[in-house]
Amino acid sequence: MLKAVIFDIDNTLYDYDAAHAPAFQALTAFACETFSLTPQRFAELHRSAERELEIRCGGNCAAVHNRLLRYQALLERLGQPIAYAPGMSKLYWSTLLEAMRPYPDAVETMARLKAMGLTIGIGTNMTAENQYEKLARIGAMPYVDFMVTSEEVTAEKPDRRLFDACAKKAGCAPEACAFVGDSVSKDVRGAMNAGMRAIWFCREGEPDRAIPGATTIRALSELPELLAECRNTFDTKEEPCP
């Protein structure tokens, strides 16, 4: 029987790309004015700092998302005081949080699933503090029973450790969990490899394709009916839904 639904956050509960754009624009404007850079040069330095941080951290950990470390690396490469790094990180995140908006059906869907008696979890590649801020900002926190971040388990999706930790916190076997996310490689493949039911959130405008062994939805509002059918299927011991 289905007992838990676990959500990714970025580009699943809200449009990360739309919120990132003004945040990066604000950061670029600050850097160009402060360090006499062109936008193109800043973009190059930013990409180099990202790659450098990934090499230092080994890639498979939440530290690669740490903007403070990323801007520290950028400033070190640029030969500028690292004292600028905290302010740059705060500028990026404050702008992103101000710009972010939940998908119209995200919070309502979580409320409906909660009313169905399902446990609601979060499984995300990111540092915990920022993800808590995002959930609070979009109004999802009252419906969340647990969260697992890559910072907590020291591994990024699709690493099975993150999915196993989600199942453990949900208090049930992986096959009693549904995992909802936008990334085929991280969310869908990771969930399937961990024995969970994978649900690919393929937003409107994205190429529609079938993922063998997974279910595709175009809107989060499809979930309550879909998962109700799954629960009924399991209760009658018929072949489980995909």
Q: Tens digits of per-residue pLDDT, 196-206?
A: 999 999 987 67
Q: How many CA atoms lie within 13 A of 132 on its CB side?
A: 5
Which of 99, 123, 142 is the last residue in one of the domains? 99
- Residue 19: CB partners within 8 Å, gap ≥ 6? 96, 97, 99, 100, 101
Which of 83, 99, 115 is the last residue in one of the domains? 99
For the sheet with 177-181, list strands across it.
Answer: 146-149, 119-124, 4-7, 177-181, 197-201, 215-217
The arithmetic mean of pLDDT across residues 105-118, rounded, is 97
Number of residues that make up the chain: 242
Give yes or no: residues 151 and 40 share one domain: no
Q: Which domain holds residue 185?
A: 4-15+101-235
The arithmetic mean of pLDDT across residues 166-193, rounded, is 97
Residue 124 counted as domain residue: yes
Beta bridge partners of 146: 121
32-66 pLDDT, tens per residue?
Answer: 999 999 999 999 999 999 999 999 988 888 899 99
* Its pTM surpasses 0.85: yes
Q: What is the DSSP letter of 200?
A: E
In the numeric block, the tokens 């498979």 are attached to 60
Give yes or no: residues 31 and 64 share one domain: yes
How many domains does the chain fold into? Answer: 2
Closest by CA to 129, choosing from 169, 72, 90, is 90
Closest by CA to 152, choosing from 122, 174, 184, is 122
The answer to whether 46 touches 73, Cβ cutoff 8 Å, is no
Give yes or no: residues 160 and 184 share one domain: yes
Residue 173 counted as domain residue: yes
Give yes or no: residues 44 and 81 share one domain: yes
Give yes or no: residues 73 and 130 share one domain: no
Is the pLDDT reported for residue 233 higher than 70? no
Which of 54, 81, 99 is the last residue in one of the domains? 99
Which residues are catalytic, by number? 8, 10
Give yes or no: residues 122 and 89 share one domain: no
Residue 95 counted as domain residue: yes
Tokens read off for 34: 């402060």
Give yes or no: residues 29 and 145 share one domain: no
Is the pLDDT reported for residue 240 higher than 60? no
d(CA 141, CA 47): 33
The answer to whether 123 touches 163, Cβ cutoff 8 Å, is yes
Helices (H), 106-176: 106-115, 128-138, 150-153, 160-170
Residue 242 counted as domain residue: no
Tokens read off for 231: 């629960």
